[in-house]
Amino acid sequence: MPRALITGVAGFIGSHLAESLLDRGYAVIGIDNLLTGDVANIARLANRDFHFIKHDVTNYIYIEGPVDYVLHWASPASPIDYLQLPIQTLKVGALGTHKALGLAKEKGAKFVLASTSEVYGDPLEHPQKETYWGNVNPVGPRGVYDEAKRFAEAMTVAYHRYHRLDTKIVRIFNTYGPRMRVNDGRAVPAFIGQALRGEPVSVFGDGMQTRSFCYITDLVDGIVRLMESDLNDPVNIGNPHELTLEELARTIIRLAGSPSQIARKPLPKDDPKVRQPDISRARTLLGWEPKVSLEVGLGHTIAWFREKLSVAETTTASERPV
């Protein structure tokens, strides 16, 4: 039975990845300091071949026994998180990546880095290929996340070249699905939460900036294919179907059956104008492409958020004094 270690396991993507690997016959060790993760995301794994360790991966990582794969997913990932936690974001991208790579080297394990489309910054190339170097403002408010991931990529490649470690880099484009936090700050959970509460849906700027949204099951399938491949170059994993944020907001309002209207808000500094992956490398070398349509994926996600918000409202009501 192969044994995989996932840092950031209690996060949105980390928890889905752990569940998928368990389903595929892996034993999984999960590490998380719960800075932005939630143990509720991994509660369903308690009776499976899963072991959780609460630990800050910027410190030395000690694991008994063999490890075949190290998947480094630990990092604040939403704008709200990394703007509130800039130092922690930089530290987990630098020190955390170094400690995770050190563990992989010690165990002779394959290493997979969760990188991001944010390494491309506000891109001057569209769509974005893995060969594009990016257009990033290192001292802007988003720089703490963008540069943390760019440094993590450089460190990963250095371990591959110098220590001959088998490393993979997955550049994740916008992903959505159940287990995202309601107050995450990213477009899909923000729009869904506002629509389900009947509040105005906040669209920044003129709403014409574009994104490409990949459903979580498609993303995890791409990650596992890359993990089990012999590739070492970065690979974009995302859905190339591009739409404006206003189109996304209106689609969510319609699918949620909401009376909400669009509300305009000022555009944040350095917000990318376009974002669309070129997935030619994933298609050709991994045989991967997304299968879940936006409407189907949003339907599943809205249903999950509807239930979560309903439970939260019931809990809050029960706590009110009589």
Q: Residues with catalytic annotation?
A: 145
- What is the edge-to-edge ordering of all strands in the sheet holding 69-72? 50-54, 27-32, 3-7, 69-72, 110-116, 167-172, 235-237
C-alpha 140/C-alpha 85 separation (Å) is 14
Structure tokens at 149: 């991931």
Picking from 217, 26, 224, the residue whose alpha carbon sits closest to that of residue 112 is 224
Q: Give CA–CA dist 75/54, Å, rounded.
A: 14
Nearest residue to 140 (alpha-carbon basis) of 270, 10, 255, 26: 270
- At 318, phi and psi to the nearest 5? -70, -20
> Mapped to the 3 state alphabet, what secondary structure does 262-295 carry?
EEEECCCCCCCCCCCECCHHHHHHHCCCCCCCHH
Residue in the structure block whose two tokens are 């491949």: 229
**Backbone φ, ψ for residue 277 (5° rounding):** -80, 140
List the end-to-end C-alpha distance of the chain, in Å, as a whole number: 54
At how many degrees (to 10) do helices 216-227 and 12-23 cross? Answer: 60
Given the structure tokens 């509300």, which residue do they identify?
A: 263
Judge contact between 195 and 260, C-beta under 8 A: yes
Give residues with Cβ within 8 angstroms of 63, minimum separation 6: 5, 29, 103, 107
